[in-house]
């Protein structure tokens, strides 16, 4: 990959992508940028190191998108070519949103672009000088790990309008909600896919959306992204309830804060809500696992149909269809969060209330 390799992997011990190393056999190359929990730090030494540096130096992943300058950012693409399809992969590892926003406003964020599609994969140029009016025949992907503009403040995020208009697809990390289907950007010239977190890391409404990964197919400058649901995810349901008058479904279910047995009634009332959430979460988990098995069987059957070698067919026969390699332990123990508006009522003891569901949920402290 010529110059694009030198610029992106100059910190690597090997100075190149792992699958070009003759002493290693890499079946599926992985390109990764760092996030906000594994960003480079000087803790314990003078040189900045990230967790991905350990995987990179061992030739497990191709770590790119790191910025060592504090006052400017220069993003160089990894250039990939297969047949008539040319892909320019840009990456920007996580950095403080305020600092990045300030540099973007000050025009200190620069993207390099390939010189032209017919040249060897060894040249990049400034985005303002490249192409010279020629039609762009590169499919440009930009992976970043920053806050999106969702009400956090104008200076504490990356605005979609900051991203170059000539990008084709933006893969937006850091945000937890899964929005895997590409949406058109506010700029209108590129699309954004937000894979979200692979498991529920914070029990909020956005985390209750079904988790997916995406399989991206590119041909020329056209693409399609197929969502693939993750089956080994613990089911999660969330809900809200208010104890005030007029909020119950039936008049006889309303709670009276002056009732001597109000605490006992509250326990029963809220227990019924939690039980419904548990049932909903279990049903979601069951449907997810069934859907995942159906998709896995279809994929294995397609693979079997394409394979012509007996050895591969025998190996798949041993694997068997509909038998996942990994399963989640105790899938009926789900994640549940119930938000209670209890103005005018006493507060229940969370631990005491959660003890009722200790064998049914794994988040008994979040009621």
One of 34, 37, 174, 342 is an active-site residue; which one? Answer: 37
* Residue-wise DSSP of 314-330: HHHHHH-TT--S---SS
CA distance 159 to 313: 50
Strands in the chain per DSSP E: 31-32, 62-63, 73-75, 78-82, 85-92, 109-114, 124-126, 139-145, 169-173, 179-184, 191-194, 212-219, 222-229, 236-242, 335-341
**What single-letter DSSP state applies at residue 90?**
E
**What single-letter DSSP state applies at residue 41?**
B
- Please confirm, yes or no, whether 37 is among the known catalytic residues: yes
CA distance 278 to 355: 15
Taking a C-beta distance cutoff of 8 angstroms, is the pair 277, 239 a contact? yes
Strands 212-219 and 222-229, sheet pairing: antiparallel
Partners of 224 in beta bridges = 217
Cα separations (Å) of 240 from 134, 266, 279?
A: 55, 14, 16
Catalytic center residues? 37
């Amino acid at each position: 990959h010529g110059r694009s390799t030198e610029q992106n992997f100059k910190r690597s011990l090997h100075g190149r992508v792992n699958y070009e190393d003759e002493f290693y056999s890499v079946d599926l190359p992985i390109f990764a940028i760092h996030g906000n929990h594994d960003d480079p730090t000087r803790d314990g030494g003078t040189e900045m190191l990230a967790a991905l540096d350990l995987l990179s130096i061992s030739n497990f992943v191709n770590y790119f998108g790191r910025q060592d300058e504090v006052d400017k950012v220069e993003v160089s693409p990894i250039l990939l070519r297969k047949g008539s399809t040319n892909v320019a992969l840009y990456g920007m590892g996580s950095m403080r949103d305020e600092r990045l926003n300030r540099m973007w406003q000050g025009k200190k964020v620069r993207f390099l672009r390939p010189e032209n599609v017919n040249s060897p994969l060894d040249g990049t140029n400034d985005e303002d000088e490249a192409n010279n009016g020629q039609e762009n025949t590169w499919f440009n992907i930009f992976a970043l790990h920053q806050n999106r503009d969702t009400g956090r403040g104008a200076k504490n995020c990356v605005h979609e309008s900051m991203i170059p208009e000539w990008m084709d697809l933006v893969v937006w990390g850091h945000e937890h909600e899964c929005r895997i289907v590409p949406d058109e950007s506010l700029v209108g010239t590129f699309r954004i896919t937000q894979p979200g977190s692979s498991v529920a890391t914070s029990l909020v409404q956005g985390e209750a959306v079904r988790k997916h990964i995406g399989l991206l197919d590119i041909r020329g400058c056209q693409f399609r992204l197929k969502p693939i649901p993750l089956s080994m995810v613990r089911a999660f349901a969330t809900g809200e309830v208010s104890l005030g008058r007029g909020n119950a479904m039936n008049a006889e279910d309303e709670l009276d804060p002056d009732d001597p047995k109000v605490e006992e009634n509250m326990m029963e009332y809220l227990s019924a809500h939690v039980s419904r959430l548990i049932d909903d979460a279990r049903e979601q988990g069951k449907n997810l696992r069934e859907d995942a098995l159906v998709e896995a069987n279809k994929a294995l059957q397609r693979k079997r149909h394409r394979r012509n070698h007996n050895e591969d067919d025998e190996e798949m026969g041993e694997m068997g269809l509909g038998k996942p390699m990994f399963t989640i332990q105790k899938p009926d123990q789900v994640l549940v969060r119930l938000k209670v508006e209890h103005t005018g009522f006493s507060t229940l003891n969370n631990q005491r209330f959660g003890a009722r569901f200790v064998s049914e949920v794994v988040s008994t402290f979040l009621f």
